[in-house]
Amino acid sequence: MRAPDSERLARAALSRLAEPGDPRMSSLVAELGPETVHRHLAEERDVGGVLTDVATRLRAIDPGRDLERAERLGIRFVVPGDAEWPAALGDLDHCGLVHDRGGSPLGLWVRGPLRLDALATPVAIVGSRSATSYGGEVAREIAAHLGSAGVCVVSGAAFGIDQAAHRGALAGGGPTVAVLACGVDRAYPSAHKQLLDHLAQHGAVVSELAPGCSPTRIRFLSRNRVIAALTVGTVVVEAAVRSGALNTAHWADRLSRRLMGVPGPVTSAQSQGVHQLLRSGGAAVVTRGADVAELVGLSGQHLVTDDRVPTRPRDTLRPREKQVLDAVPVHRGAGADSIARTAGIGLVEVRRVLGRLVERGLVARDDAGWRLTDAAR
Q: Does 374 bind a copy of itself (CB under 8 A)?
A: no
117 or 326: CB nearest a copy of itself: 326
Among 323, 329, 360, 369, binds a copy of itself (CB under 8 A): 323
Number of CB atoms found within 10 A of residue 286's CB: 26
Q: Does 344 bind a copy of itself (CB under 8 A)?
A: yes
Among 92, 152, 165, 262, binds a copy of itself (CB under 8 A): 262
Q: Does 54 bind a copy of itself (CB under 8 A)?
A: yes
**Among 26-34, 184-192, 196-204, 272-280, which window interacts with a copy of itself (CB under 8 A)?**
272-280
Q: Does 276 bind a copy of itself (CB under 8 A)?
A: yes
120 or 347: CB nearest a copy of itself: 347
Q: Does 159 bind a copy of itself (CB under 8 A)?
A: no
| Angle, in degrees to the nearest 10, between helices 217-230 and 245-254 | 40
175 or 211: CB nearest a copy of itself: 211
Is the omega angle on the peptide bond into residue 189 within 30 degrees of 0, that is, cis? Answer: yes
Q: Is the dihedral of CA 101, 103, 106, 108 positive or negative?
A: positive
Stretch 113-152 residues interacting with a copy of itself (CB under 8 A): 134, 137-138
Q: Smallest gap, in angstroms, from Cβ of residue 83 to a copy of itself?
A: 29
Q: Does 285 bind a copy of itself (CB under 8 A)?
A: yes
Among 98, 208, 272, 371, binds a copy of itself (CB under 8 A): 272
Nearest CA-CA partner of 245 in 357, 345, 124, 343: 124
Among 256, 267, 299, 301, binds a copy of itself (CB under 8 A): 267
Q: What is the largest CA-CA distance in the chain?
A: 116
The CA distances from residue 360 to 120, 190, 364, in Å, are 52, 67, 10
The CA distances from residue 167 to 160, 190, 213, in Å, are 11, 16, 25
Q: Which residues bind a copy of itself (CB under 8 A)?
A: 16-19, 52-54, 56-57, 99-100, 134, 137-138, 213-214, 216-218, 241-242, 262-267, 271-272, 275-276, 278-279, 284-288, 291, 306-307, 309, 319, 322-323, 326-327, 342-349
